[in-house]
Amino acid sequence: MSQRPWMNIDREQWQMVMALFIVGLLTTFLLALTDIFTHEPIAQAKRTALHSALTEVLPPYTNQPLDETLTIATPTLKDEHHLLYSARDANGNIVGFAWETIANDGYAGSIYILMGVNSEGRMHAMRITDHKETPGLGDGITKNQPWIDHFNGQTLNTIVWGVKKDGGDFDQFTGATITPRAVIKTLHQELLWFSQSRQQIFKAASTLNKEENHE
């Protein structure tokens, strides 16, 4: 009767197998433990960063936009929906909305943008929250403050949405036209979406406010 393969493993090999098994268990345990202790601090840090960014892109508000969110369908855009943060004054009136969008046609990949508008749909401000554009060229979208501030107060009709190379009103960056072009194009599309969806958005915001007051 032939022996089974595992019966041919000697004592030293068994010890090695068991040692590897124990090391694997300990590694898994330590990774799980690390996740438990770091998950909440990381989540809180992200929330704090988002709160800070919201104060930069929204008109002055007295509520907590992070706790007043709306999910609005965007069938004509790249995403299926937008998560909007609602900003209100002391009387509970809407003063603006903010949301994150993505310019997928950046030079080095996707560009993540947080933008805010007032209640009339006029852009209050925008900030780039993440990108992989080339340092010294495309990263002007985060470092060229006059260019960033050019979006403040704009509507669909106050400027020509494009870089000057394309006949628009925005400067392009030397050696990096693709990056600003992608940001401008996306912000223009988002303002158009907001204009078309404004009635739906305000209706959803009104419903949310009634639910909160009822509670």
Condensed to tens digits (0 to 9), the pLDDT of residues 142-167 reads: 999 999 999 999 999 999 999 999 99
Dihedrals phi, psi of 126, to nearest 5 degrees: -140, 155
Quote the pLDDT of residue 8: 55
Residue 33's identity, in one-letter code, is L
Query: What pLDDT was estimated at residue 196?
Result: 92
Indicate the pTM of the whole model. 0.77
Q: List, in sequence order, the alpha helices (H) in the chain.
A: 11-57, 140-143, 145-149, 178-214
Q: For residue 23, what pLDDT is reported? A: 83
What per-residue confidence (pLDDT) applies to 43? 65
Give the residue ranges of the chain where pLDDT is below 50: 1, 214
Backbone dihedral angles phi then psi of residue 94, each to the nearest 5 degrees: -65, 130
Q: What is the pLDDT of residue 164?
A: 94
pLDDT for 14 equals 74
What pLDDT is recorded for position 5? 55
Per-residue confidence (pLDDT) for residue 167, from 0 to 100: 96
Which 3 state secondary structure label does DSSP give 59? coil
User: Which pLDDT score, from 0 to 100, does residue 4 have?
Assistant: 55
